[in-house]
Amino acid sequence: MTGKPRPSFPARLDRSGAPAPARPAGLQPNFGTKPAAAAAAAKPAARPTPHGVGLDSQAVRMAMVNKLAAQGISDPRVLAAMGTIERHRFVDSALVIQAYEDTSLPIGLGQTISKPGVVSRMAELLLNGQPGKLGRVLEIGTGCGYQAAVLSLLATEVYSIERLRGLHDKARENLRPLRLPNVHLLFGDGMVGFAKGAPYAAIIAAAGGEAVPQAWIDQLAVGGRLVAPVATTGGPQALMVIDKTPQGLRQTMLEAVHFVPLKSGIA
């Protein structure tokens, strides 16, 4: 991945494999500075309330982090990122009391924000114990922007594609106050990826189909890793890890998961 410059902005999404159309896709290349790094873990807090400073308290987030650690998440970078990004800012006001519970929540248009346990698990799989930050990461399915914000603390750059205009706009609004300079939001068909940003050190998907699209494999760097839910034969979805080695692809099927279906096109 070294030696290839990042694409110029504003970028345009190629939705068909042909040269990109003249109309630029929605993209937020610059948000400013990163949030402060997570502080040391605090004692578990009481169930958060939607009023006052409760949900803004780092102690509330650290209570969630402690639960994630108890579930087996061990990478300190992932735990720090989960403790830094305020999940309640990415859910509807009526649901903020559940923001730090390990549950998925509706975000509109039939989509959900993933459980903290799933977000942290997939992030840890992407890092794979390697030192330092990930390089360039492609996220398929921006949703409300929460996972992109977490990834921004773990990677040098994050390209995140959303096919639903309403969610793309919501993510842009959610992320703007965080001013994350390394997060780039794109509106387009995630099934074709974003070739202009390739090759990617990691690719992560927040929707599951029958198979991993070939475009994602093509855009993954040699030495890179892809983590995505995939439908199993006659059964539930499962997390699939694909490592692209000089000798070829190595696939590993992990635990059962439940994600929204992977779809093509834009809406």
Extents of the domains making up the chain: 104-257
Q: How many CB atoms lie within 10 A of CB 152?
A: 26
133 has a pLDDT exceeding 80: yes
d(CA 44, CA 118): 20
The two three-digit tokens of residue 247, written as one number: 């000798």
φ, ψ of residue 106 in degrees (nearest 5): -70, 140
The CATH class, in words, for 104-257 is: alpha beta
Distances (CA, A) of 158 to 6, 14, 22, 42, 261: 11, 18, 23, 29, 22
Quickly count: other Cβ atoms within 10 Å of residue 160's Cβ. Answer: 29
Q: pLDDT band at residue 221, thresholds of 50, 70 and 90?
A: very high
pLDDT at residue 203, as a whole number: 98
Contact 225, 241 (CB under 8 A): yes
The rounded percent of the chain whose pLDDT value lies above 90 is: 76
The more confident residue out of 186 and 44 is 186
| Residue 258 DSSP code | -
pLDDT tens figures, 69-95: 999 999 999 999 999 999 999 999 999
Closest to 75 in 3D by CA, of 137, 126, 135: 126
pLDDT digits (tens, 9 = 90+) for 188-205: 999 999 999 999 999 999
The per-residue pLDDT for 37 is 38
Any idea which residues carry the catalytic annotation?
A: 114
Nearest to 157 by CA among 124, 134, 173, 186: 134
Strand ranges, E, within the chain: 105-108, 111-113, 134-140, 155-162, 183-187, 200-205, 220-231, 237-245, 248-257
Q: Using the CB atoms, write b or e for 80-106: b if 16+ within 10 Å.
A: bbbbbbbbbbbbeeebbbbbbbeebbe
